[in-house]
Structure 1
Amino acid sequence: MNRAIVHMDMDTFFVSCERLQNRELKGIPLIIGGGDRGVVASCSYEARKFGVRSAMPIRMALRLCPDAKIIKGDYELYSNLSHKVTEIIQEKVPVMEKASIDEFYLDLSGMDKFYGCYQWTKEIAEAVNKEAGLPISFALSTNKTVSKIGTGESKPVGRLEIKEMEVKSFLNPLSVKKIPMVGDKTFQLLSRIGIRTIHTLSEMPVLVLQQMIGKNGKELWKKANGIDENPVVPYSERKSVSTERTFATDTIDVLELKRILSGMAEKLAFQLRQEKWITSTIMVKIRYANFDTETKQSRVAYTAADHTLSRVALELFDKLYTRRMRIRLIGLRFTDLVHGNHQMNLFEDTEEQMNLYQTMDYLKNRFGTDAVGRASGFDFGQ
């Protein structure tokens, strides 16, 4: 049976959400992001015409487009609308994967015998636009890679079908940067040896690619040739991440308790970023030596930044620990999770903070989660 895989992507999702709330924002250059030292979380097509892009420093974006209107952003609004779109799509398809807050994969394999897959997808997109008031683009093809590239090429409000016999002719003339797994460093490496189009990349010997970029060389070659066996993973929301520690000996050492709590926040925040979650609720738990257990929680703007999560956790601990008894257990939980990359939470982060997180996450991925961390979370006595 031929596979029929759809990729759907909301067009400038944050911008579209803001325009849904305020129609006066339509047609003007619009930037969603933090303050002067922050970066662009999203921008309108009117701003993109001036060269503004996501993750660009706000200062640079304003130099390119000085007339742009900047909005800090309302992640709770975006989350609620994302949930609404998810429900609209989920009730209409057999298998749906939510890849992020604003993109989805659908597996419609075998549906042709009931109804044309393209027509089916078109009606889903129309339902999203009618019921949620938001524009959405899609591409239908034989696998996730080709469909995702297709959606990018079809925007804005694009609808594209790439049949199996058309895959190579569709991919070949495109830049290798269009392949989802190709970042700036890989692109620069390939460009230096003259590989700039997917067609050239697809004809490279697999062994040569593996020698150049490591174990991902084969996967890159397969994608350049339109091959991707990855399944659409049925969607399910994770509700929380948590950790706790029971002490061998009950303690009243407040500085040590705060160090442990800070380390917990950092590790859980790293887990959120790795799994592409962000949280809006922080809960701290303590259990006293007499087994009395108390909790306190606080809501924050959606984030996966450990400097924010650690600060709030420590504030909760100060409010919670009032009895001055020995403690036998301390725990931390992040709840009300929604899908989203940390870069979407740039409404309050600075460019310097983002660079720090990217470096720390890289080191943790390469050398282990304990390879690097904030000083407040380390036990220097070990």
Structure 2
Amino acid sequence: MIKPKPKKGRVIFHIDMNCFYASVEMAYNPDLKGKPLAIAGNPEERKGIIVTSSYEARAKGVKTTMTVWQARKLCPELIIMRPNFDRYRKASKEMFQMLAEITPDIQPVSIDEGYMDVTEAQHFGSPLETAKDLQQKILKELDLPCSIGIAPNKFLAKMASDMKKPLGITVLRKRELSQILWPLPIEEMYGVGEKTAAKLKKIEVETIGDLAAKDVYQLRQVLGINGERLKNRANGVDTRPVDPDAVYEFKSIGSSQTLPYDTIDEAEISKLMDQLADNVERRMKRKNAAGLSVQIMIRFHDRKTITRSKKLQSYIDSKEEILHTATELLKKHWNQEPVRLLGITIQDVDEKQNLGRQLDLFTYEKEASKEKLYTAIDTLSAKYGENVFKKWKENNRKDEELSRTSFQKDFLDDYKH
């Protein structure tokens, strides 16, 4: 249950684990401490991408999303390890359990970060004392460093946690925005990506302060409703609650992979499409979900990337249905240029139990005595097709295989168990 905003204002923490995967490996093997370490998906091939790296590696120029060969060129002595998701998941669970000892109002947003609403947790001491104690507890018991941002809302807490790393604690108050936040380059604002930053610079928004002062009408012209939202954030306005149930919300499930080499070989491309559809089906079954749209992503040899999607008449969840639609989209939109990366995503996703709950009304058709029910059924059938009334079977098969995607949310409530 989301608590109403208190009259005196909220106190929000953003907990951000520092170099999480690398830090977990160092905690597991102390001999790695102080050395340049990187975690990569596939160290042996070009498609191996750096997921995270230690501060020693970052000092040499190694960055997240950099390819393995680029990282080794910058840092020949770099130690590269494959990710160990069991290990990271266990550490994440233990970390979030420590957060839960302070407040139940926790919103995990990924395996290594989350928000806490500590407004009602003043019995632990002042917010700053609480943050210091929590940081030291995580460091002492798990041997893992973290940074904590303290602010009156989620956006400012997130910005604050990024200001001091590793092992930083930053308090960011609204009255300090002009001195601390506004001078920062617009690229450093959470929620502003490379493309958004480029659009903002075209209208002379170079800093967060420029954004805070910019005319909202002009921002709407360039960025739509998001322009107004970003302006509000720049002025320290963010009413979003810390929602413990947000972890259960997901609207899409996908899988993407870089090919070992750029190719126009249809057999290679078809093989990868089959693998991606299999990955998506597996993740759908793990979540016991179904989706109503299929999207493909194609990245070409020159890094140009396109996405194309198709809305379906009924929910799907099987590999065959996913692959059929994805292949149709590929044939229609692939220009025969060499392909570097492919992705398949199912969108408009919902859990089957929710779909079943929404459709339970129609199981009473035989007992219905009023014509309104039959009219409703006919109307919905005409609009969505008869398959909408198909009752989904419960899929109780547990898929123990870990996802290759490192930021899946399907384990973020582990700490509650």
Please state which band the TM-score falls in when normalised by the shorter chain: 0.5 to 0.7
Q: CA deviation at 1:313?
A: 8.9
SS in 1 for 2:116: strand
* 1:272 is the counterpart of 2:253: yes
* 1:9 is the counterpart of 2:12: no
The two structures, once aligned, show a CA RMSD in angstroms of: 3.4
Q: CA deviation at 1:53?
A: 1.3
* 1:166 is the counterpart of 2:118: no
Match of 1:188 in 2: 198
Match of 1:291 in 2: none
| Residues 39 and 52, structure 2, Cα contact 8 Å, conserved in 1 | yes
SS in 2 for 1:154: coil
Question: Structure 2 regions of 5+ residues with no counterpart?
Answer: 1-7, 256-271, 290-298, 314-320, 330-417
SS in 2 for 1:138: strand
Q: 1:28 aligns with which of 35, 40, 63?
A: 35
Trace 1:81-230 onto structure 2 (pairs within 5 A). 81-112=91-122, 115-230=125-240
Give the stretch that moved more between structures: 5-14 or 117-126: 117-126
* Counterpart residue type for residue 333 of structure 1: K
Partner Cα distance (1:133, 1:157) in 2: 12
SS in 2 for 1:185: helix
SS in 1 for 2:222: helix
SS in 2 for 1:272: strand
* 1:46 is the counterpart of 2:56: yes
* Counterpart residue type for residue 108 of structure 1: V
Alignment CA distance shift 1:186-1:134 (3 Å): same
Question: Structure 1 regions of 5+ residues with no counterpart?
Answer: 242-269, 275-304, 317-330, 338-350
Partner Cα distance (1:313, 1:151) in 2: 33
Partner Cα distance (2:235, 2:217) in 1: 15
* 1:334 is the counterpart of 2:293: no
Q: CA deviation at 1:378?
A: 5.6
Partner Cα distance (1:131, 1:336) in 2: 35
| Residues 124 and 130, structure 2, Cα contact 8 Å, conserved in 1 | no
| Residues 146 and 167, structure 1, Cα contact 8 Å, conserved in 2 | no
Q: CA deviation at 1:212?
A: 1.0
- Give CA-to-partner distance per residue, 1:141-188, whole Å, 9 cap, x none: 111111111111111110111233223322111111222210111112
| Residues 103 and 121, structure 2, Cα contact 8 Å, conserved in 1 | no
Match of 2:80 in 1: 70
Partner Cα distance (1:217, 1:80) in 2: 39
- Give CA-to-partner distance per residue, 1:9-33, whole Å, 9 cap, x none: 0000000011111111111111110
SS in 2 for 1:333: helix
* Counterpart residue type for residue 209 of structure 1: L
Match of 1:298 in 2: none
Alignment CA distance shift 1:110-1:166 (3 Å): farther
| Residues 202 and 225, structure 1, Cα contact 8 Å, conserved in 2 | yes
Partner Cα distance (1:273, 1:377) in 2: 12
Alignment CA distance shift 1:313-1:121 (3 Å): closer
* Counterpart residue type for residue 31 of structure 2: E
SS in 1 for 2:34: coil
Partner Cα distance (2:113, 2:273) in 1: 25
- Give CA-to-partner distance per residue, 1:111-167, whole Å, 9 cap, x none: 447731121122122221222221111010111111111111111110111233223
SS in 1 for 2:14: strand
Alignment CA distance shift 1:307-1:115 (3 Å): farther
* Counterpart residue type for residue 6 of structure 1: F
| Residues 139 and 161, structure 1, Cα contact 8 Å, conserved in 2 | yes
Partner Cα distance (2:312, 2:170) in 1: 42
